[in-house]
Amino acid sequence: MNVTSMQNSDWQIDGSTRILGVIGDPVMHSLSPAMHNLALSYLGVNARYLAFHVKPSHLNDAVRGFVAQGVLGFNSTLPHKEALLKLMDWVDDEAMLMGAVNTVRIEPDGRLLGYNTDAYGFQMAMEMNFPKHMLGAEVVVLGAGGAARGVVTGLANGGVQRITVANRTLSRAEHLLDSLTGPNLARVDRRATPLEPHKLSLETCKLLVNTTSAGMHGESFQAVDLHRLPPDAVVVDIIYTPARTPFLQAAQNRGLKILNGLDMLVHQGARSFYIWTGQQMPVSRVKDYLERLLNS
Ligand code: ATR
C-alpha cells in the first residue's frame, strides 16, 4: 500500500497527500465525500476525497486526467457505472456480472482496476441487521433500474431461493433478470412481474425491497398492499433521504421490521475504502456521523 499514514492530529494537506473522489452527474448531494473523509481522518490516512461533476461526454477525459495526475482511485455514480466498464484494464467478477463499475483503483503504472461494491453493501447491510432473512427466502424487489442490479446480485450472494422483480415497465424487469448472470444467480428461481396489485404475490414473501426512486418524492405504491405480507417479513427501502419513506413508514405502522439505505451506502463505501487503502472503515462511527449530518 503506497498511502502513507500519519497521526490524526497531523491530518493536513502536504506534498504527498493522495486524491480520491466520486464522479457523477449530478454529484453535489453525494454523501460519499463526508463518509470517506471522516474515515480517512479517523485512521490518519494522508488522502482527501472530493466530488467531481463529470458529464458523460467528458468521462474519458476525466478518467485519463485522474491517471495522469496520480489519483489513487474513485467511485462512480449515475450515469457512469456502465460506461466505465469499457475503460477498465481489469474488472473483478462482480462488476463483470453486473455490467457496471462503482469503484476504480488506479495502479502506480496507470492501470485501471474496476470493482462493484453495491451487491456487497446490500448483502452486508442485511446480514448485520437481519442475518436470517436471506438464506432460502422468497424476496420481492420493486424496481428494475441500476440500483436493482446491486440488490438482486446481493440477494443471490446471500442465498435467497426466489426473487420476483416487480416493475412498472415489465420489459425492464425481464431485461434485468436476463442480463444478470453468475453461479449464485443461476441457483435462484427468478421471475419478472408488472407492478400491479393482482400480479404481485406477497403472502409468502419474507423480504420486500424497494429500489425505485418513488419515495424520494413522497410517493408510495398503490400496487403494494403491505397487509398481504407475513407478520415476520422485513421491508427495506434503499433510499436514505428521507430516513423513512412513506413506504417504510407504512410498513412500520403495520408492525413490520424495516431498514433504510444508509447501511447499504456505508458498507459499499467501506469495501471501496478497503480497495484503495487496505484499511477497514470504522463503519458504525461513519454511520452515526452520516445520520447526524442528514438530521441537521
Ligand atoms: P436507478 O439507477 O437509481 O435505479 P433508474 O434506472 O431510473 O434509476 O430506475 C428507476 C426505477 O424506479 C425504475 O424501475 C422505475 O420504473 P420504470 O422502469 O417503469 O421507469 C422505477 N420508478 C420510478 N418512479 C416510480 C414510481 N413513481 N412508481 C413506480 N416505479 C417507479
Residue 143 pLDDT exceeds 70? yes
81 is catalytic: yes
Reported confidence tier of residue 3, pLDDT bands at 50, 70, 90: low
Residue 284 pLDDT exceeds 50? yes
Say if ligand 1 is within 6 A of residue 245 CB: no
Instruction: Determine contact, residues 184/102, Cβ cutoff 8 Å.
Output: no
Q: Which three cell numbers stand for residue 148?
A: 436493482
Q: What pLDDT, on the 0 to 100 scale, is given for residue 9?
A: 53
Nearest CA to ligand 1 atom 24: 214
User: What is the per-residue pLDDT across 216-259, written as a single tens digit (0 to 9) for each?
Assistant: 877 777 789 999 999 999 999 999 999 999 999 999 999 999 99
Q: What pLDDT, on the 0 to 100 scale, is given for residue 5?
A: 60
pTM greater than 0.75: yes
User: What is the per-residue pLDDT across 70-115, written as a single tens digit (0 to 9) for each?
Assistant: 999 999 999 999 999 999 999 999 999 999 999 999 999 999 999 9
Say if ligand 1 is within 6 A of residue 146 CB: yes
Instruction: Give the distance (Å) from ligand 1 centre to CA of residue 255.
Output: 27
Reported confidence tier of residue 1, pLDDT bands at 50, 70, 90: very low
Residue 8 pLDDT exceeds 70? no
Q: How many CA atoms lie within 13 A of 9 on its CB side?
A: 0
Amino acid symbol at 251? A
Q: Which three cell numbers stand for residue 138?
A: 422468497
The pairing of beta strand 90-91 with beta strand 47-53: unpaired
Q: What is the rounded average pLDDT of the residues 264-276? A: 98
Q: What is the rounded average pLDDT of the residues 203-222? A: 88
Q: What is the rounded average pLDDT of the residues 157-164? A: 98
Select from 171, 213, 239 the residue to mutate for testing ligand 1; criterion: most ligand atoms less than 8 Å from CB.
213
Question: Distance between CA 273 and CA 279 in Å, rounded?
Answer: 7
Say if ligand 1 is within 6 A of residue 268 CB: no
Residue 203 pLDDT exceeds 50? yes
Q: What pLDDT, on the 0 to 100 scale, is given for residue 4?
A: 61
Sign of dihedral through CA atoms 281, 282, 283, 285? negative
